Amino acid sequence: MKNIDSNGHVRGTSVYLDDIPVIQGTLFGLVFDAPMAHGSIEAVDYSKAEALPGVVRIFTANDIPGENQIGGIVPDEPLFAEGDIHFQGQPIALIVAESEHIAAKARKLIDIRIVEKPVITDPREAQAKGQLIIPPRTFRLGDPAAQWAKCAHVFEGRADSNGQEHLYIETQGAYAVPMENGHIKIHSSTQGPTAVQRTAARVLGVPMHKIEVDVTRLGGGFGGKEDQATPWGVMAALAAGQLKRPVKIALHRLDDMRMTGKRHPYSSDYRIGLSTDGKILAYEVTFYQNAGAAADLSPAVMERTLFHCTNAYFIPHVTATAYSCRTNLPPNTAFRGFGGPQGMFAIEAALAHAAREMGIPKHLLQQKNLLTEGAEFPYGQIAEGVEIGKIWQTLEAKFSIEKTEKAVAAFNNANAQVKKGLPCSPFASAFHLQKHL
């Protein structure tokens, strides 16, 4: 069956947040954010911005009737910065005006004085200074320390993977409409309607039943709207509730890219030990997760990295430790794979390293160590319904890794300036665990 939205998408009739007909009297919100990554706010002068015709009001932390807190797992993230700023792009105030254009003009008229503080962007530096979001966690299976002496080959190295911008086509946004009796309806571009509802209730100091959240569809999310769609919905509700007028916030692309977190960059140290015939005997890995300035979903992402640290392989002796490191970047967040890919990159790097040093194709090492039925994952679960062996056979039968490899080698021998590379990318990915929130 075709996607039921295909007609609407192709004809442009599908309704996204910005397509909702605007109610008369609607105001537009624009976020004023921290111009630098770390410091304390000495003074902010809003007077010139407030005096601009068409500016209705500027909301700051002082205007919050409930709690100035949006942290889901750990309460460590204010809606509007108070006192200190911890990342460039951190919201400080919401300018509400008769048009977006006026709000943008007003933003340029705000004077802010900040005393700068030292900035940390590297997770290893943060870890060394004790800047952790939560205490480190370690998954263990067997005893790697006792194995190294028995290994014919031991390789150590470092694997870094960078962040990733979600770049959903529809930027973050929300449209809040005041209803009767203090009820507020929020149209939100969120993956988590309940998170928006719960957080709006907390910040506005009202019961959850006063807040209704409605979502038609998103123009992409990729995890970027799981937790980080919340602040805009809450800000719009705050302003709509106090001004008794509908308030819409739709982030400009540049504001979105600057203010929101991304996939977590990871820096990892690995140590892998193998037998002469290429069986992995032991694996040690330490993950330094760059969490950014607040917890957001980082603890759950970090856990997911540990779950996937051995990818689709069985390794009898494993120690995997992860640090969630607090830095002065926007809080990094969920992104398709949720920490899993970062864990897999480290083991794949270790295998590539081993294959190179041992002078054998990586795919032979991969195949030799594939997960089998009844094997134990480092987190204690016994593997059932394992399909990776059958998948490998199917791929070999249909596409022949060996033949392709030979063709690539022949091509590389014949061509001096264009070179080909051929790797296999197996995975085991696990489902149904959402512990966060």
Partner 1 sequence: MNQARALVHIYSDGSIGVSTGAVEMGQGVNTKMLQVAARVFDVQPQRVKLETTNTTRVANTSPSAASATADLNGKALGKACTALLERLRTCAAAHFQVDATAISIRQEQVFKNGTATGMHWEQLVDMAFLERVCLTENGHYATPVIRFDKGIEKGHPFAYHVYGLALITVAVDCIRGTYAVESVKIVHDFGKSMNPIVDRGQIEGGLVQGIGWMTMEEVRYDPDGRLASGTLSTYKIPDIYSVPAEVVIEPLDTPGNDMAIFKSKAVGEPPLMYGLGAYFAIQQAVAAFNPEYPFRFDAPFTPEKVLMTLYPDAADLEQLAIASASLENRINP
385 lies in the binding site for partner 1 (CB under 8 A): yes
Among 257, 358, 364, 375, binds partner 1 (CB under 8 A): 257
Half-sphere exposure at residue 68, Cβ-oriented, CA atoms within 13 angstroms: 15
User: d(Cα 226, Cα 301) in Å, to the nearest integer?
Assistant: 12
Q: Tokens 């309806």 — which residue?
A: 185
User: d(Cα 415, Cα 417) in Å, to the nearest integer?
Assistant: 6
DSSP string, 32-45: EE-SSSSEEEEEEE
Of 101, 124, 112, whose CA–CA distance to 32 is shortest? 112
User: d(Cα 143, Cα 279) in Å, to the nearest integer?
Assistant: 16
With respect to partner 1, which residue has the nearer C-beta, 100 or 160? 160
User: d(Cα 139, Cα 142) in Å, to the nearest integer?
Assistant: 10
Among 45, 404, 406, 410, binds partner 1 (CB under 8 A): 404
160 lies in the binding site for partner 1 (CB under 8 A): yes
Among 211, 234, 238, 302, binds partner 1 (CB under 8 A): 211
436 lies in the binding site for partner 1 (CB under 8 A): yes
With respect to partner 1, which residue has the nearer C-beta, 364 or 401? 401
Which part of the chain contacts partner 1 (CB under 8 A), choosing from 51-59, 92-100, 235-243, 424-432?
424-432
414 lies in the binding site for partner 1 (CB under 8 A): no
Scan residues 263-282 and list those touching partner 1 (CB under 8 A). Answer: 263, 265
Angle at which helices 340-358 and 298-307 cross, to 10°: 40
Contact yes or no for 126/325 (Cβ under 8 A): yes
With respect to partner 1, which residue has the nearer C-beta, 150 or 253? 253
Cα 20-22-23 angle, rounded to 5 deg: 130
Size of the site for partner 1 (CB under 8 A): 120
Scan residues 321-350 and list those touching partner 1 (CB under 8 A). Answer: 328-329, 334, 336-338, 340-341, 344-345, 348-349
Mark 78-117 with x for binding to partner 1 (rule: CB under 8 A) and - for no binding. Answer: ---------xxx----------------------------
Which tokens is 412 given? Answer: 């590389």
Scan residues 54-83 and list those touching partner 1 (CB under 8 A). Answer: none
Of 208, 171, 174, whose CA–CA distance to 26 is shortest? 174
DSSP string, 66-81: S-S---SSSS---SS-
Q: Tokens 């807040």 — which residue?
A: 211
194 lies in the binding site for partner 1 (CB under 8 A): yes
428 lies in the binding site for partner 1 (CB under 8 A): yes
Which part of the chain contacts partner 1 (CB under 8 A), choosing from 145-153, 234-242, 277-285, 418-426?
418-426
Among 131, 191, 324, 369, binds partner 1 (CB under 8 A): 191
Among 24, 62, 399, 414, binds partner 1 (CB under 8 A): 399
Which part of the chain contacts partner 1 (CB under 8 A), choosing from 24-32, 75-83, 132-140, 242-250?
132-140
User: d(Cα 434, Cα 437) in Å, to the nearest integer?
Assistant: 8
Among 68, 157, 316, 358, binds partner 1 (CB under 8 A): 157
Distance (Å) of CA 306 to CA 160, 172, 269, 311: 16, 30, 13, 10
